[in-house]
Amino acid sequence: MFPVPVSPPLNVTVESFAFENAIDVKWTRFLPIHWQGKPFAISLYYKILRRGPMLDLRAEKKQKILSFDQSYHRITGLGVNWALSIQLSAQTMAGEGPLSTKLTGETCRCHKNIYVSWYEKRPYISTHDSGRVVGIFPHLLDKIKTKICGYCKRFGYPRIYYDRSKSGRYPVIQSSEDIRAEMSDDFHIHLPVTGDRILTVLEGQFQYIQVYDDTSSVYITLDRTKTAKSRIMIQLLSKAYPVLLIIALFNVATGIAIWLIDQCSNPEEFQRGHFLTGVLNGVWWAFITMTTVGYGDIIPRGCLGRLFSLVWMIVGLVLTSVFISTLTAITTVSSVTPNAVLYGTKVGAIYGSKEHSLGIRRLADVITADNRGKNFTNSEEVLQALLNNEVKGVLLETNEAGALFDYISKNGLLVRKKIDSTKGIGFVPSGSMTQLHSEIRAYVKSNKDIVDNMMKNATKPLDIQSTTDSRKHVMTRSTIFKDSIWYSLLVMGSLLIIGCFWQICVWRFIKKVWRLSPKTKDECIQVKYKADSEELIKFVDSFVFDHINKIEELYEQHMMERLQLIISHSKATPYGPKGWVHYKTLNYKQILSEVKATELINESLHSRKTKRRAAKGTESHPMELYKPAYIEAQFEPIGFVLENIEN
């Protein structure tokens, strides 16, 4: 007979990944055929193989004496992600039997609850409107808890808490400084944390897992070309005001000079003796001549005025060229303005961020709080300070600015400068999660494409404009060009609608009213053509008087020639002039005795001129001068005399 059991406990099994800090061991009870002597106890031997990722070479083998009728035991007092080797044996009063096959058991790789300390930093982590925490880090942690922590049989996958600590505290974390202060075992993960790209240990004691290595910074200012689009050209012209002033002074001087020179030769256009009216016409002529428009409504008439015009044309071309070249120089200088500098500039940055340190290193006047003294904790607060003109510019991490691309574009902000950095961004595990840092780091490194895709979807590329290129204001893709086209179409469409409405509705109504009220229609027509009628009357008056004067002059000349002919013919007769007249007139002896022929003619001419002057001073219409009765009355005296002389 053997004094000890001949075999160890049968069907020994170890349940791994069931508890955070315990392992269950099960076996089958002994049957009488498997032991000799009276059974006494079951010996359970276990040894810690590793604590987390580190092998425990110094661990000692421990023994637990269990009741002989037991078939189950839970090894407690372990840690997360521990591995043990386990063996069983049976004992009697005579001694211990053989050991069972060595089995390995492991605890759950992660705690049931994972607590995260964080502050908002887009696109890495932020709070959605629904209250859910979103971003690259939450998405990555979900994958880590699935791939690295794995499934635990008792509670499933770990649950991640972003609103509390392990002890139940609700810390207020607003910056990376607060994150560093909270790096303790009360949290399992701290993020986001900025660190050097080549380092894996932060501050000599914390394991640092880098997630993304491109964390350059950008300098953002107000985009004046978008916040004051309507004033861009005015600002450019304001820089050229000396040239505009010189051109204006030259034009005024030229207007005065042409008035002085040409007022005698051209009193109709450059009113002689009227300084203000004449000079205004002269300035108008100077402007249209300088710009080579040349309407032709006002032109010099005299030789000296035309010679002066030739000189002014050349001078005007020179002045116009100077003005255009000045505008070109201004826009060119604006397009090659040096990059924005941070030195001495009031720059806003998130408190405790690497941009905060960057601004200090660049000797900028870094502002980390608003006017009320509240520290900037996220990018929106810093950008709002810029919009409120509390700072001249803002320093943000490039990816953070890319996540706010729509906000930046909507509020008229301009990314002026990109500043490269040797920093990366990641997170720091603490407590039990430190045991998995190697596996987490390897997982993040092997799945870098996942992080890159998430970053690509969460951000938009920024247009780095180191200068304000004023040439873009006239490009077809510029905002000003598009707005100009839009407003022009809007005005044109509005005028077309108003015109159609007038033609269809208002004009028809007016015509209908005119049909119902002829008197009103006549009055409207009278008002409409009043100015034209007055001008026509003046023209007819001038025409009538000019032609009557011409007729009178021709008639006087004709009568004088006939009189001379009569007198010369009468001198050839033996009777002499008086005898010849007496011979011809016969029955008009009394007339010849009282008035000589020449005196009678002179008296009739004088009388006719007097009546004509009197007619001009009357209110009678000038057309009456064309009436036969009036003309006959004008020429009646001389006609009477000549008729009698001829007879």
Query: What pLDDT digit, counting tens, does each position of 74-111 carry?
Result: 999 998 889 999 999 888 777 788 888 999 999 999 98
- Cα 30 → chain centroid: 86
No. of H helices and E strands in the chain?
Answer: 22, 22
Which CATH code is given to the segment(s) 229-335?
Answer: 1.10.287.70
> What is the structure's pLDDT at 394?
93
**384-to-197, 371, 581 alpha-carbon distances in Å:** 31, 12, 118
Compute the mean pLDDT over every residue in the chain, rounded to the nearest whole number.
78
- For a pLDDT cut of 90, what percent of the chain falls above it? 17
Average pLDDT, integer, range 442-466: 86
* Confidence band for 542, pLDDT divided at 50, 70 and 90: confident
Q: Is the pLDDT of residue 177 over 70?
A: yes
Domain layout of the chain by residue ranges: 10-106, 110-214+422-465, 229-335, 480-528, 530-646
- Cα–Cα nearest to 299, from 346, 249, 262, 327: 262
Q: Is the pLDDT of residue 332 over 90?
A: no
Plot region of 150 (φ>0 → left; ψ -120 to 50 → alpha; else → beta): left
> What is the structure's pLDDT at 36?
54
Q: What is the pLDDT of residues 392-433, one digit of tens each?
A: 899 999 998 999 888 888 888 888 888 888 888 999 998 888
Plot region of 420 (φ>0 → left; ψ -120 to 50 → alpha; else → beta): beta
Task: List residues bridging with 424 in a β-sheet.
Answer: 195
* Confidence band for 202, pLDDT divided at 50, 70 and 90: confident
Q: Select the more confidently predicted residue: 356 or 225.
A: 356
Q: Is the pLDDT of residue 221 over 70?
A: yes
- Top-tier CATH class for 10-106: mainly beta
Helix H or strand E encompassing 113: strand 113-118
- Give the count of beta carbons closer than 10 Å to the beta carbon of residue 512: 10
Q: Select the more confidently predicted residue: 1 or 214.
A: 214
Q: Is the pLDDT of residue 174 over 60?
A: yes
Q: Is the pLDDT of residue 554 over 90?
A: no
Q: Is the pLDDT of residue 336 over 70?
A: no
Average pLDDT, integer, range 13-37: 78
Q: Which residues contact 219 (CB under 8 A, 6 or more apart)?
A: 340, 342, 347, 393, 394, 395, 415, 416, 417, 418, 419
Q: Is the pLDDT of residue 171 over 60?
A: yes
Average pLDDT, integer, range 325-345: 69
Q: What 8-state DSSP symbol labels residue 44?
A: E
> What is the structure's pLDDT at 474?
46
> What is the structure's pLDDT at 86?
93
Q: Is the pLDDT of residue 233 over 70?
A: no
> What is the structure's pLDDT at 531?
64
> What is the structure's pLDDT at 334?
52
Cα(327)–Cα(247) distance, integer angstroms: 14
Q: Which residues contact 432 (CB under 8 A, 6 or more apart)?
A: 52, 79, 80, 81, 110, 111, 188
* Confidence band for 619, pLDDT divided at 50, 70 and 90: very low
> What is the structure's pLDDT at 373?
83
Cα(439)–Cα(50) distance, integer angstroms: 15
Structure tokens at 305: 């005025």
Cα(270)–Cα(260) distance, integer angstroms: 9
Which 3 state secondary structure label does DSSP give 365?
Answer: strand
* Confidence band for 232, pLDDT divided at 50, 70 and 90: low
Q: Do 339 and 467 form a contact (C-beta atoms < 8 A)?
A: yes
Cα(628)–Cα(642) distance, integer angstroms: 19
Cα(486)–Cα(503) distance, integer angstroms: 26
Lowest mean pLDDT among 255-269, 504-518, 586-600: 586-600
Lowest mean pLDDT among 477-486, 492-501, 554-563, 581-590: 581-590
Q: Do 116 and 187 form a contact (C-beta atoms < 8 A)?
A: yes
Q: Is the pLDDT of residue 530 over 90?
A: no
Q: What 8-state DSSP symbol labels residue 96?
A: B
Before 32, cis peptide (omega within 30)? no
> What is the structure's pLDDT at 631?
41
Q: What is the pLDDT of residues 266-315, one digit of tens each?
A: 888 887 778 888 888 889 999 888 888 877 788 888 888 889 999 999 99
User: Candidates 3.40.190.10, 3.40.50.11440, 1.10.1060.10, 3.40.640.10; correct CATH number of 110-214+422-465?
Assistant: 3.40.190.10
Task: List residues bridging with 89 in a β-sheet.
Answer: 43
Q: What is the pLDDT of residues 105-128, one digit of tens each?
A: 999 999 899 999 998 888 899 888
> What is the structure's pLDDT at 471?
47
> What is the structure's pLDDT at 24?
93
